[in-house]
Amino acid sequence: MPSTPPNLTAVILAGGKGTRLLPHTAETPKPLVKVGQYPIIEILLKCLQRAGFTRVCIAVSHLSQVIVDALGDGSRFDLQIQYSQEETPLSTIGPLTLIEDLPEQFLVVNGDILTDMDFAALMEYHRGQQVPLTVATCQRESRNDFGVLEIGSTGMVTDFTEKPTFSFTVSAGVYVFSRDVLQYVPKGERFGFDQLMETLLENSVPVATYPYDGYWLDIGRHEDYQQANEDIDRIKGLID
């Protein structure tokens, strides 16, 4: 495992309403929804602590006090937890502009992610790339439920595939930021990851990727939540 510098900082984005997981999120913030007996965000906090992180800032909005009451100051996780409150929803990247004293490099992770990714190794990789932003990526497949025709210039069918499966490279919802990136983010305004990527590309700012093929789930849909509960034995291994 790469050596890690002291005082590693992570930001957990935990302000979303989790509407796609209703009714589980009717009265419970999505990061506190349980997989087995473990709230998603507690699993994430334990993974961060094990990777050498000491400070975590949690960006909160919807049902924020419930999250604060559940996690406290972080002492039971051997972490220093602070909270950043959004008065109005700022999407996925906007909340970073409200957080003071961010270090030169810091991890950002969505609060509904389950993964065995080595966050310390990701930080080390980012330092070696010498770029402002590194995006962890995963491969995902999507099946098309229709027969797909390929059509030539004359309008005639040249090929046919029944219900093909396509592979995509997707963002894993885990990033390493260098503080300089924040100059591209309008302060206190709604600003998403999609807008950040468009802005960086328009300004020719290099963005590195960190391909990851291990365990990763984004608990944003009912089928993913069901999968997480089926994987409970593997998930226990993340925190034991």
Distance between CA atoms of residues 19 and 198, nearest Å: 26
Token pair for residue 141? 């497949």
Give the CA count within 13 Å in the CB-facing half-sphere of 64.
Answer: 15
What residue type is 194 in one-letter code? D
Backbone angles phi, psi at 143, to 5 degrees: -95, 130
**Pairing relationship of beta strands 38-39 and 133-143 according to DSSP bridges:** unpaired
Of 94, 53, 54, 80, the closest CA to residue 196 belongs to 94
DSSP assignment, residue 89? -
Is 236 considered catalytic here? no
Which of 17, 30, 163, 236 is catalytic? The answer is 163
**Residue 181 neighbours by CB under 8 Å, 6+ apart:** 132, 133, 196, 200, 205
Q: What residues are annotated to the active site? A: 163
